[in-house]
Amino acid sequence: MTLYQKIRFVFTGILSRLKGQLNGLPAIEFDTFGRMLAIREIFYNRTLHPSIISRLANPVSCTRYFEYAYAGSIVKAQLQQGNKIQSVLDISSPRLFPFWMVEKAGLSVHMVNPDQSDLEESRHIAHFVNNKSNLKFSDNVDATCLPFEENSFDMATSISVIEHVPDRGDSVMISELKRVVRHGGLIILSFPVKPEFTNEYRNINYYERNQNSEKNGKYFFQRFYDEESIKKRIVGHFDIVESDRRYWAETPIGWFEDYERKWMKEGLNQIVHDPEFMSKHFIATGSNHPMNSMGICCMTLIVNKQSHKY
């Protein structure tokens, strides 16, 4: 990446952010926070490494604008209502959100991730987060078998993760989260949806834990939930009560598949335009599951450990 390319990416990203902001794109504060972390790293290390330029040009990827905005609003509401949140467990969310919870919301966050290289990168970037002493990390943690005692956390967050856990692991993950979160605590999730339940397989095995989930020479990558699978696999557990649900859907139908193909082919050249693209091609549909298109669901669950006791 030449110096000219680096400058072009940064200014293109800023211009896209301005266009998205004018179009009413949410989560601009997360966009700003992500760019500031990259600027801190540049000044501290005195380098324009391509990975830092990528984070400066594209601090929030794809539909994370909607997912961060939703999860952030829930966290803020809890704090404004005076609900005590001393400890948060984050399951493999894109690192910007747990970093935001630490620096901007003043929370203590324990980050876990089975991807060791991704966790190491999070550790590195965490040096540029204010209040980083409130961040903890655990290595090689499987969300379906959490190494924590019951009632260890006030809240759990997991942004765009549960859809990647193979087989019935998503349901097991919910059981584990409700076990380690105290009575009255929250679980905040987001995941992709379609009108019909769909499993997606890819030629490349992106997640080591999915190596045994092979089908016709391809590896499980993610699932898209329909309303019935949300009910059975996520909400249909003892001890949890759904508190809130919000959707965003693509427009026009089929736009996201085309975007994703370009993303995989062109990389930063494509996703540097994310703020503008997301503001134009996703619309809020409230609590209505998309009827004929791909979308994103954000959900809050309340842990109610007495819900099935008589």
In the predicted model, what is the mean pLDDT of the chain?
94
* Res 299: pLDDT: 98
| Residues of the chain above pLDDT 70, percent | 96
* Res 307: pLDDT: 52
| 3-class DSSP string for the chain | CCHHHHHHHHHHHHHHHHHHHHCCCCCHHHHHHHHHHHHHHHHHHCCCCHHHHHHHHCCCCCCHHHHHHHHHHHHHHHHHCCCCCCCEEEECCCCHHHHHHHHCCCCCEEEEECCHHHHHHHHHHHHHCCCHHHEEEEECCCCCCCCCCCCCEEEEEEECCHHHCCCCHHHHHHHHHHHHEEEEEEEEEEEEECCCCEEEEECCCCCHHHCCCEECCEEEEEEEECHHHHHHHHHCCCCEEEEEEEEEEECCCCHHHHHHHHHHHHCHHHHCCHHHHHHHHEEEEECCCCCCCCEEEEEEEEECCCCCCC
Q: How does pLDDT run across 163-214, given as a tens digit for each residue?
A: 999 999 999 999 999 999 999 999 999 999 999 999 999 887 776 665 566 6
* Res 310: pLDDT: 38
CATH numbers and ranges of domains, the chain: 60-303 (3.40.50.150)
Q: How does pLDDT run across 42-79, given as a tens digit for each residue?
A: 999 998 999 999 999 999 999 999 999 999 999 999 99
* Res 210: pLDDT: 56
pLDDT band at 84 (very low <50, low <70, confident <90, very high): confident
* Res 99: pLDDT: 98
* Res 306: pLDDT: 74
Return the exposure string of 144-183: e unless at least 16 CB atoms fall within 10 Å of the residue's CB, then b: bebebeeebbbbbbbbbbbbbbbeebbbbbbebbbbbbee
